[in-house]
A = this chain, B = another copy of it.
């Protein structure tokens, strides 16, 4: 380098190289015009199930491995990016990575909603970070603003449209006057809904996410299994049409609400009549939004693409850069 200083490079390991993983690599391998810390990051290892599949972007030989354990124990790797999804082996790999002193970036709402406390405690003990911006709201900055900028407020409510699939289905039902079943089939064809749509349409995905947001906004422990959860299967075209006549739209809302004395908390997921004047009423299609109400702030809404390769990868990489920034500051101070 010009100044004669040696570049500090932070090696990261990816667990998983599906949609979000390749999106993450695309950003890191093409850093020009982006946050300059990207140039300090090197993808050292990528864990996949099979080495035979063609992949884009292609990675140099020797980076792909099917041995995920070798990534979380690699002494050269300082950040492990978990993009496997699901509970296991994600939980075990994250805990092993933490035990090996790695910082964690994850997009996995399920593992954080169910095992967040165990993971955070392990990270505290090890003195490492666990960042999860991509776990809620795709590319929308939600977790970090809630932890930081908005955290000086006494938070009263967090309300989210945080499942893109159900919001897409409800939007289509509203625009086409169609029933749930038809729109679900169409959404599955378009790739907006999974073959098994349960996690989305029954509200479980939204419940995972509001559990995470509530724990951050209100502190303490949210028991995921205690969150009452009603999905959108029972909504039909007639409901939506009646709501429309009365000045409302139907949205699947995930709600976390403190009572007036701020000493108890309600967390729930269910279809809700939303007045057409309300900021959440115009959040349509696969977009997500999180509305935070606090004292003395008032209402703030964060809106954007709740899913998709680029949006989710943007959140993953912002977390990686965030950790690199902290590590660099600490290095400089040592």
Segment with Cβ contacts to B, from A69-77, A118-126, A136-144, A188-196: A136-144
A23, CB-defined interface residue at 8 Å: yes
A38, CB-defined interface residue at 8 Å: yes
| Beta-carbon contact of B305 and A300 below 8 Å | yes
Q: What residues on B are CB-neighbors of A23 within 8 Å? A: 296
- Which of chain B's residues has its CB closest to A33's CB? B154
Q: When the two chains form the complex, which single residue of B38, B152, B314, B322 contacts A294, counting CB atoms closer than 8 Å?
A: B314
With A34-B154, A133-B149, A148-B322 known as contacts, the answer to whether A314 contacts B333 (CB < 8 A) is no
Q: What residues on B are CB-neighbors of A144 within 8 Å? A: 144-145, 148-149
A334, CB-defined interface residue at 8 Å: yes
Considering only residues 298-332 of chain A, those with a C-beta below 8 Å from chain B are 298-305, 308-311, 313-315, 317-318, 321-322, 326, 329-330
Considering only residues 16-63 of chain A, those with a C-beta below 8 Å from chain B are 23, 26-27, 33-35, 38
A100, CB-defined interface residue at 8 Å: no
| Beta-carbon contact of A314 and B27 below 8 Å | no
Q: When the two chains form the complex, which single residue of B140, B296, B330 contacts A300, counting CB atoms closer than 8 Å?
A: B140
Q: What residues on B are CB-neighbors of A141 within 8 Å? A: 141, 145, 148-150, 300, 302
Chain B proximity mask over A123-164: 1 for CB below 8 Å, otherwise 0: 000000000010000011100110011111110000000000
A265, CB-defined interface residue at 8 Å: no
Quote the shortest CB–CB distance from A292 to chain B (angstroms): 9
Considering only residues 255-299 of chain A, those with a C-beta below 8 Å from chain B are 262, 279, 282, 294-299
| Beta-carbon contact of B151 and A321 below 8 Å | yes
| Beta-carbon contact of A296 and B311 below 8 Å | yes
| Beta-carbon contact of B300 and A303 below 8 Å | yes
Q: What residues on B are CB-neighbors of A300 within 8 Å? A: 139-141, 302-305
- Give Cα distance in the complex from A145 to B140, angstroms: 9
Q: What residues on B are CB-neighbors of A313 within 8 Å? A: 296
Q: What residues on B are CB-neighbors of A305 within 8 Å? A: 297-300
| Beta-carbon contact of B298 and A311 below 8 Å | yes
Q: What residues on B are CB-neighbors of A317 within 8 Å? A: 152
- Which of chain B's residues has its CB closest to A316's CB? B152
Quote the shortest CB–CB distance from A83 to chain B (angstroms): 16
Chain B proximity mask over A171-193: 1 for CB below 8 Å, otherwise 0: 00000000000000000000000
Q: What residues on B are CB-neighbors of A153 within 8 Å? A: 27, 34, 314
| Beta-carbon contact of A152 and B297 below 8 Å | no
- Give Cα distance in the complex from A56 to B35, angstroms: 43
- Give Cα distance in the complex from A129 to B155, angstroms: 27
- Give Cα distance in the complex from A298 to B286, angstroms: 12
With A140-B300, A301-B304, A305-B300 known as contacts, the answer to whether A151 contacts B34 (CB < 8 A) is yes
Q: What residues on B are CB-neighbors of A310 within 8 Å? A: 295-298
- Give Cα distance in the complex from A308 to B295, angstroms: 13
| Beta-carbon contact of B308 and A298 below 8 Å | yes
| Beta-carbon contact of B33 and A152 below 8 Å | no
| Beta-carbon contact of B151 and A318 below 8 Å | yes
